[in-house]
Amino acid sequence: IRDKLVESMLHCEAVVADHGNPVRNYGIVSNGLSLPETHPLHLSWSETVWPALQQAQQELSRPLHLNSIALPLNLLETRGLAVAQQIRFDVESSSSSSSPLRLQNDLQLWALRPLTAYPDQGTGTSGHAFVLADYQLPAALKKELTWSNQMTAPPQVYQMAMQRAIRHFDDHA
């Protein structure tokens, strides 16, 4: 997977280098970074992502445009905080090493899914998240609001927005 990550980062760097598009930075969003090492979908920061970043930088011989990493962090999934601390430590301590990780911008660490959580530290097998906060959303194109815990499917307006976004990317592929 490390080779795929390097390939993806190099592709992202090529997109950023093309000044004809609006993309100036990229980030990593991963549930797998916060999963326990015993989980089959675990993604190791120290053994996979960190070396991939270093390899991508070495191949480019310039600072990377990676500017953010998002990890699950909420009342039930707390492991993301420890991983975020490790990421921060590695990035900051690399500046005094012989091959520091050089980034175009400061790295930002983001909390992902603060209002929903998967059971058992993100390893739940049911596939359904716990909603840690209930809120009202438009259920249809009408202006009626429905509580999120009463919805049995994504709201119609979300489906329309998703389809429009997919069409946009299909048209510009």
pLDDT at 59: 95
How many whole angstroms from its chain centre is CA 148? 23
pLDDT at 121: 64
pLDDT at 150: 77
pLDDT at 141: 66
pLDDT at 4: 94
Q: What mean pLDDT value characterizes the chain?
A: 85
| For range 131-152, the mean pLDDT | 74
Nearest Cα residue to 33 out of 99, 97, 77, 91: 77
Percent residues over pLDDT 70 in the chain: 91
pLDDT at 62: 92
The type of residue at 122 is G
Which one has a higher pLDDT value, 59 or 131?
59
pLDDT at 172: 74
| For range 40-51, the mean pLDDT | 92
Q: Is the pLDDT confidence value at 142 over 90?
A: no
Which one has a higher pLDDT value, 52 or 39?
52
Question: How many Å from the N-terminal Cα to the C-terminal Cα in the chain?
Answer: 25
For residue 86, what are its two tokens?
């490790």
Interval 87-141: pLDDT, tens: 999 999 888 887 788 998 899 999 988 887 777 666 666 667 777 777 777 766 6
- What SS3 state is found at 87? helix
